[in-house]
Structure 1
Amino acid sequence: MEGFLLLATLYLTAAVVAVPIVARLGLGSVLGYLLAGILIGPVLGLVGDTQANDLQHFAEFGVVMMLFLIGLELEPRALWDMRHRLLGVGGLQITLTTGAVMAGAMWLGLVWQTALAVGLTLALSSTAIVLQTLSEKGLTRTAGGRATFAVLLTQDIAVIPMLALLPLLAVSQKPSLAPDGSVTRANSAGVDDHATSISLIADLPSWGVTLVTIGAIVSIILVGHYLTRPLFRFIHGARLHEMFTAVALLIVVAIAFLMNLVGVSPALGTFLAGVVLANSEFRHELESNIEPFKGLLLGLFFMTVGAGINFHILFGDPFKIIGLTLALMVIKGTILYGLGTAFKLRDGNKWLLTLALAQAGEFGFVLISFGLQTHVLTQSIGQTLLLVIALSMLLTPLFFILHDYLSRRAAEGPTHQLEADEIDEQQPIIIAGIGRFGQVVNRMLQMSGFRATVLDHDLPTIELMRKFGFKSFFGDPTRPELLHAAGLDKAKVLVAALDDKDANTRLVRYARHERPDLNIVARARDRVHVYELYRAGADHIVREMFDSSLRAGRYVLEDLGLTDFEANEMETAFYKHDRMALRDLAELWKPGVPLDQNKEYLARAQELNRELETALVRQDVAKDTGK
């Protein structure tokens, strides 16, 4: 017990010290966790290899929880819509990378069976690091982020056939010997020793394994669809919030255990369960209960990766290890860049796909361990691969920093060089422009239980909104194709709130032309802009400073001695008169003619001012006489 507490204290202390410092430097939390692990492991020697490997079993549960949460964000229909990316970008990436790495390994002298195992192992990327960093930087909703997610999802699914293929590649069935003559065992990073684990498929023929695996997956789908809702309703009746947390953990742990029993990746099983539960009314409850555990365990996982780096092997032949790591990342990066070009990603998204996935991933630990146990890999090859994977994961945060630099350079150029996000949802409300004006509208809608599709062409504003948890899409709202992708054909309300008054007017005019029945609420800069929007077809026009000025005027009246009721009456009367006056004057406004040169406009404006004064006087007299 004391040993566990000491180990926990070391890890938590290192995380609390290193992660905030690295994050404040703008390097991301993942790099902070990796450096913390290196500090307490190889540098200070406070954590041994055995302790790090034992703790890694527990820490990898963070990856399992992360994929469960990813599944909760994906409806089955959305997954089906991604099939072209999954089979296209993802499938080609795995195939081409495996072939290229296999060719390089055979060139270095490995037999084709071992070279193929190495290619499969290094074709995978780090789901944990990449998705965590994409989320932190608000890049998940970009076209590059979506392509990256599709590749990662394909890789996670591909782990199953890879595990099935590895035993067929065994070169020797004899256990390998350590230098002292003792029988060596596989590094356990990522996989438990099969000799001591429980299995439902250990003695089954191949067809039996297939049936049991399919049965387990079907059971997850049926239980998730039919039994979870009654279970959550029953727990809800207890009125104990901790029971929701217990049920959420039970779902994840039980599915992971079942997947282990049938030899399937626990992460894939929980991802499938998340997809099944994506339409559940308890989805947000599950997310809020699992999220804290996921974050902590993922951080622990990154720290165990850093603590497990064997610097003795690295320093024994640094040029070889670093050269192999860089060669791997160049090969994968080249393939990914080519795929991004083939699938017509723009420069920014293409570089995101390339730099985000150039590393090897945590599932490589799983394949290496299994490859050592089935004697597909030798101990020396396994140790080298483990170090290459760990170093490539360590370099990944630096690649994201390079992407940030390239993005800033691109942002300094013409705006049209940036590709618009792919819009994956259509809500009955479209908000075009999410500046100070649009943000208030969006927040009020969300508080009232409504969701809107938010568009804006200001990338920093979009990224800021994403960091605060507001889903939004980058792109020029005045582009017809983007508006239709956002659901203009079916929307009930369009909020035109762009900063550029001319662009806002063009947006209203186009939307009215396309949808005569659409309700359009438009933001106006000033009175003249009100007239322009009126001619363009807006239903409700709001001057951005008018309401705040009304409130300020009411406060002045109250400070002068009027009661709250009297000030409110004055405010209401002025508002109604101004609204009526604007409509009348809009009919007399002539585009291109200054207001002071439009005689009809001036005459009507003066008349309306006299009417306002008369109305306010009558209102005061009525109050004084008690009528």
Structure 2
Amino acid sequence: MHADTISPLMSDALVILGAAGIVIPLFARFRITPIIGFILVGVLVGPFGLGRLVPEMPWLYWVTISSTESLAPFAEFGIILLLFTIGLELSFNRLWQLRKLVFGLGALELLIIGSLLALAFFANGQPLVAAAALGFALAFSSTALVLPISGTRTPVGRAALSMLLFEDIMIVPIIFILGALAPYADAEGFSGLLTTLWQGALVVLVMMVAGRFFLPRLFASAARAKSSELFMAASLLVVLTSALATQLVGLSPIVGALIAGLLIAETEYHSEVEAIIDPFKGLALGIFLITVGMAIDVTMLWSNLWAIAGAVVGVLALKAVVTGVLLRLMGARAGTATETGILMASPSETSLIVLAAAAQASIVSAATAQFWQVVIALGLTVTPLLARLGRVAGRRVEPAPSLDDADHRDATPRVIVIGLGRVGRLVAEMLDRHGKPYVGIDSDSDIIDHARNAGFKALYGNAARGDLLDKLGMAECPAVILTMDEHVLAQQLVRKLRAAYPDLPIIARARDTFHATELYKAGATVAVPETLESSLQLSEAALVELGVAMGPVIASIHEKRDEFRERIQQDAALDEKPKLRTSTAES
């Protein structure tokens, strides 16, 4: 069978699925982000990698991608699904709360960075229009990579989201302005822009009104059918229809996808939709990243290594400094400003679109466009490294409050909550509601930042550290509550606390009844198995729904809980007896 008898689409699909199924798990095993893996696959199998050797070695046809253009629609679909899922995580209320950041911080960030880069290009001999095109192309940051890394609920994520939303809004005006300023642009440039803007506003308004009326009914029908296939079809229909509607009037399709996500986020079906779309989003985004890698010409990169490296470092440094300074001026904490600035320094997939539009309009020469295309691709490649560097730098600039620099010797006895994840925060909230003083500690500074921003009394500290027990004021502590999900560490801490404080009440979270038995053997006062509690809650809900009175239900649930707890404690005591007899015989 000859290679020319095989559909190029089938060959490309083989490479992409191979990357997703083999290469990416390999990177994950070594704790390297799949983002870098997909881009490196693109470099390797693209037309500038092994693809150029196909005429001499035809068998490479099976492991290379024949056409970058054939993958472009799939890459665009990945970005559309990504923006749709981002919309699912938001709501119109959250966007309204961010309006000052979006049109304040976002506008300043894009305008200042774009202008400074344009001035730098103009000073280096580029024509004014070409300098502006290059400057604003590089001023964009990657929505596709930044938001999955930062999330949308952390301080860094909220700041990044506000700037990225404004950049997404500005894509269309910037591309239209480039067309209007092009040497061969006609006089309809600005009038075309105005037409697109009013038509786009009208389409968005219609989508919002129609979506609020039709979407709940559409997904309710799919839910009643109890068909996951129908739910998937309805989800994809909403995404593609919204993206197509905005694209028809000249707006970016990602604007329609984002609005569709926002509308579905207001319904009770958003979690199911997000779960269904997620696998498609991951694969399609991987295709986009492969196309980014395919744009990197390794030969050209090597011959211009120092110039490209200098361009990458210069652009990243300028964007990081400007973004960080703007955030500080607008009241952000030093650590948040530093981390966000470094993360937002990466260029964007949108940068490639703007650069291509400028080259098509003959504003930027082909050689210049190719050079900066490689710079942008390399910038996208290092985005995960920038995220890690940003976290480290943010912690150095503003370390999380720790037990060493906080007033941990409070005169008021306090409950100690070890672990401030989802469970720990709920426990702390209930203690606060009932007027019980507490302090929570965790060894993850990101969790501490999140907890403190949410109003919890949180301190950074490693509970396994030797001198921590004294600093916590354990002598006056009424109780210790362990909520971490690390069962070995929980047993070690219980054993350590019981040895140092024989009368201290220790309440510990357990994964299951076996883990609870181990915690009781280590010295826990109460061990609460998650599996047991979920079963009891399920039984309570079922009995109430079946018409049993609440009082008898609660009494029977408490009785059953005590029965299980007594049985687990007996099992722990029985396991300990042989050990006691052995140690007595040895002595």
Q: Is the 8 A contact 2:346 2:379 kept in 1?
A: yes
What is the distance in 1 between the residues matched to 2:199 and 2:155?
38
Is the Cα–Cα contact under 8 Å of residues 420 and 451 in structure 2 kept in the other structure?
A: no
- CA-CA distance at 1:81 after TM superposition: 0.9
Correspondence for 1:516 = none
User: Following superposition of structure 1 onto structure 2, how do residues 165-244 of structure 1 map, counting pairs within 5 Å?
Assistant: 165-172=177-184, 208-244=195-231
Q: Which of 161, 165, 178 is the equivalent residue of 2:173?
A: 161
Hey, what's the Cα distance between the residues in 2 that align with 1:206 and 1:398?
38
* Counterpart residue type for residue 279 of structure 2: P
Deviation at 1:332, TM superposition (A): 0.9
1:345 is matched with: 332
Q: 2:455 aligns with which of 462, 475, 482?
A: 482
Using the alignment, how far apart are the partners of 1:120 and 1:363 within structure 2? 10
Q: 1:528 to 1:89 in 2, by over 3 A?
A: farther
Identify the match of residue 142 of structure 1 among 147, 150, 154: 154
Say which of 12, 16, 19 aligns to 2:24: 19
Change (3 A) 1:418 1:55: farther
Distance 1:114 1:280 in 2: 46
Match of 2:8 in 1: 3
1:362 maps to which of 349, 373, 385: 349
Report the CA distance between 1:239 and its aligned residue.
2.5
Q: Once the two structures are superposed, what CA deviation does each residue of 1:432-478 show, in whole Å capped at 9, x if it has no partner?
A: 947399738959x9xxxxxxxx9954252865xxxxxxxx963459x
Residue by residue over 1:365-422, the C-alpha shift from the partner in whole angstroms, topping out at 9 and shown as x without a partner, is 2212222333332222222221121111112222223235446767988628999xxx
**Corresponding position: 1:263 with 2:250:** yes
The alignment's TM-score, normalised by the length of structure 2, stands at 0.68
Gaps in structure 2 of 5+ consecutive residues: 1-5, 52-59, 407-414, 430-437, 459-468, 480-496, 506-519, 530-555, 567-587
User: Aligned to 1:125, what secondary structure does the other structure show?
Assistant: coil
Work out the CA distance in 1 between the residues paired with 2:338 and 2:43.
29
In the TM superposition, residue 292 of structure 1 has moved relative to its aligned partner by: 1.0
Report if aligned partners of 1:102, 1:116 keep a CA contact under 8 Å in 2.
yes
Aligned to 1:80: 96
Measure how far apart 1:320 and its partner are: 2.3
Equivalent position of 2:464 in the other structure: none
Query: Could you say if the C-alpha distance between residues 235 and 15 of structure 1 is closer, same or farther in structure 2, counting changes exceeding 3 Å?
Result: closer
Deviations 1:211-258 (A, max 9, x none): 322221112112211111111222233332100001101111111112
Q: Which amino acid in 1 is paired with 2:419?
A: G
Q: Is the CA contact 2:98–2:162 (under 8 Å) kept in the aligned structure 1?
A: yes
1:163 aligned partner, one-letter code: I
Match in the other structure for 2:423: 439
Q: Which residue of 1 aligns with 2:550?
A: none
SS in 2 for 1:474: helix
Per-residue deviation at 1:66?
1.1
Which structure would you say has the larger RCO, counting Cα contacts within 8 Å and 6 or more residues apart? 1
Say if 1:473 and 1:393 are closer, same or farther in 2 by CA, change over 3 A. Answer: same
User: Which residue of the partner structure matches residue 184 of structure 1?
Assistant: none
Bigger Cα Rg = 1
Q: Does 1:460 align with 2:466?
A: no
Determine the C-alpha separation between the residues in 1 that align with 2:398 and 2:30.
22
Report the alpha carbon displacement of residue 14 of structure 1 after superposing the two structures with TM.
Answer: 3.0
Q: Which moved more, 1:236-245 or 1:338-347?
A: 338-347
- TM-aligned CA deviation for residue 24 of structure 1: 2.9
TM-score norm. by structure 1 comes to: 0.64
1:554 alignment counterpart: none
Letter in 1 for 2:295: G
Alignment of 1:43-442 (within 5 A): 43-45=49-51, 51-135=67-151, 140-172=152-184, 208-406=195-393, 415=402, 433=417, 435=419, 439=423
Q: 1:170 to 1:460 in 2, by over 3 A?
A: same
Q: Distance in 2 between matches of 1:204 and 1:83?
A: 28
Q: Aligned with 1:227: secondary structure?
A: helix
Q: What's the secondary structure of 1:482's corresponding residue?
A: coil
Aligned-pair Cα RMSD in Å: 4.4
Match of 1:545 in 2: 524
Using the TM superposition, give the Cα deviation of residue 350 of structure 1 relative to its aligned residue in structure 2, in angstroms. 2.4
Deviates more, 1:272-281 or 1:291-300: 272-281
Q: Distance in 2 between matches of 1:142 and 1:131?
A: 11
**Does the Cα contact within 8 Å between 1:252 and 1:270 map onto a contact in 2?**
yes
Say whether the 8 Å CA contact 1:113–1:169 is kept in structure 2: yes
Preserved CA contact (<8 Å) 1:35 1:303? yes
Structure 1: distance between partners of 2:101 and 2:423: 33
Identical aligned residues as a percent: 27
Change beyond 3 A, Cα 1:278–1:319? same
How much has 1:265 moved relative to structure 2? 0.9
Cα 1:247–1:500 change in 2 (3 A) is farther
Provide the rounded CA distance (Å) in 2 between the counterparts of 1:68 and 1:418.
43
Amino acid at match of 2:11: L
Q: Which residue of 1 aligns with 2:577?
A: none
What letter matches 1:545 in structure 2?
Answer: A
Question: Structure 1 residues 126, 503: closer, same or farther in 2, change over 3 A?
Answer: farther
- Say if 1:256 and 1:202 are closer, same or farther in 2 by CA, change over 3 A: farther
Q: In structure 2, what is the equivalent of residue 614 of structure 1? A: none
- TM-superposition CA deviations, 1:140-168 (whole Å, max 9, x none): 53322321222222211221221232112
Q: Residues 243, 70 of structure 1: CA spacing in aligned structure 2 closer, same or farther, 3 A cutoff? A: same
Whether contact under 8 Å (2:173, 2:193) holds in the other structure is: no
Asked if structure 1 preserves the Cα contact closer than 8 Å seen for 2:416 and 2:440, the reply is yes
Secondary structure, aligned partner of 1:242:
helix
Where does the alignment leave 5 or more consecutive residues of structure 1 unmatched?
A: 175-200, 420-430, 446-453, 464-471, 486-497, 509-523, 531-542, 551-564, 576-627
Aligned residues: 461
Change (3 A) 1:319 1:252: same
Give the Cα separation in 2 of the matches to 1:323 and 1:108.
14
Q: What amino acid is the match of 1:126?
A: S
Superposed counterparts of 1:453-532, under 5 Å: 457-460=441-444, 474-476=450-452, 482-483=455-456
Aligned CA distance change for structure 1 residues 571 and 109 (closer, same or farther; 3 Å): closer
Q: Secondary structure at the match of 1:358?
A: coil
- Counterparts in 2 of 1:438 and 1:53: CA distance versus 1, 3 Å: closer
Work out the CA distance in 1 between the residues paired with 2:97 and 2:305. 45
Aligned equivalents of 1:440, 1:482: Cα separation in 2: 13
